[in-house]
Amino acid sequence: MERVEQHASFGGRQEVWTRHSEVLGGATRFGVYLPPAALAGERCPVLYWLSGLTCTEQNFITKAGVQQHAAAHGLIVVAPDTSPRGPEVPDDPAYDLGQGAGFYLDATQAPWSTHFRMETHVVHELPAWIEAHFPASDRRAISGHSMGGHGALSLALRHPGRYASVSAFAPIVAPSQVPWGRKAFAAYLGDDPAAWAAHDTVALIAQAAERLPLLVDQGEADDFLGSQLRPELLQAACADAGHPLTLRLHPGHDHSYYFIASFIGEHVAWHARALAG
């Protein structure tokens, strides 16, 4: 495990590490923000952040302004890459498949299944690294944006008890029903409808084992709102199942990090309350 960046930030430290991942079959990078409390030796809870299509570990740590809030609340923030990487890893020329587009699941179909195992990486391998090498407790929360919002919601629903809280910005809530999700699911999971449903937030809500409250922020000027994101499907599924959902629609806000930065402080506070509980 090698540290490739470290920067003082709001009394804490933003770091970037690289390590060989058995699960992904190659080196992977992740950002770790250590708040002042962690630098002082306290074991802090951890917020995992999952980024969207085309992102690396860099986008969130450089653009979201999360460090100010993580410092104030004493949270470690971990930001993995969005897929396996490297010349030996399969890829696709499109931005929405292959490297940069892992969709936070374990692929079952060739050629993807050997490296594209982001679910096992994010849910198990990465937290094991974090909890062994940093002053982290085993209290975890998860959030993300767009494809990473799908990741946060679907992983929290698929692994009850693993996360104290979950939130998302502009998530793909029904990948089985929209072009981004259908393309990725067909490639990674084949044509089995049950496999698709097992990774689709709207489908998972109906049979959720725990009723973990969802916080979802969505910009009304988001270019992908009607075609790829469709928060009304999540709203209907939660209403049907009696699943607690706080869905906030924000006039004028788009799909960018300017939107995330405007509300990340409220998400960090939401997670901090749950992690302290």
Nearer to its own copies, 13 or 117 (CB): 13
The residue behind tokens 């049979």 is 207
**Torsion angle of C-alpha atoms 193, 53, 87, 4, degrees rounded to 10:** -130
Tokens in use for 5? Answer: 């960046």
Encoded amino acid at 145, one letter: H
From the list 63-71, 72-80, 120-128, 183-191, the region that binds its own copies by CB under 8 A is 63-71
Select from 26, 9, 5, 27 the least CA-distant residue to 18. 27
Residue among 186, 221, 236, 269 that touches its own copies (CB under 8 A)? 221
CA distance 56 to 79: 9
Task: Rule CB under 8 A: say whether 194 interacts with its own copies.
Answer: no
Please confirm, yes or no, whether 255 is among the known catalytic residues.
yes
Task: Rule CB under 8 A: say whether 83 interacts with its own copies.
Answer: no
Please confirm, yes or no, whether 240 is among the known catalytic residues.
no
CA distance 254 to 177: 22
Is the Cβ–Cβ distance between 57 and 31 less than 8 Å?
yes
Nearer to its own copies, 19 or 63 (CB): 63
DSSP state for residue 176 in the 8-state scheme: G
Number of residues counted as binding its own copies (CB under 8 A): 25
Nearer to its own copies, 92 or 266 (CB): 266
Task: Rule CB under 8 A: say whether 259 interacts with its own copies.
Answer: yes
SS3 assignment, position 8: strand
Active-site entry in 143, 154, 222, 267: 222
Please confirm, yes or no, whether 254 is among the known catalytic residues.
no
From the list 151-159, 173-181, 241-249, 259-267, the region that binds its own copies by CB under 8 A is 259-267
Binding site for its own copies (CB under 8 A): 7-11, 13-14, 62-63, 65, 67-68, 219, 221, 250-254, 256-259, 261-262
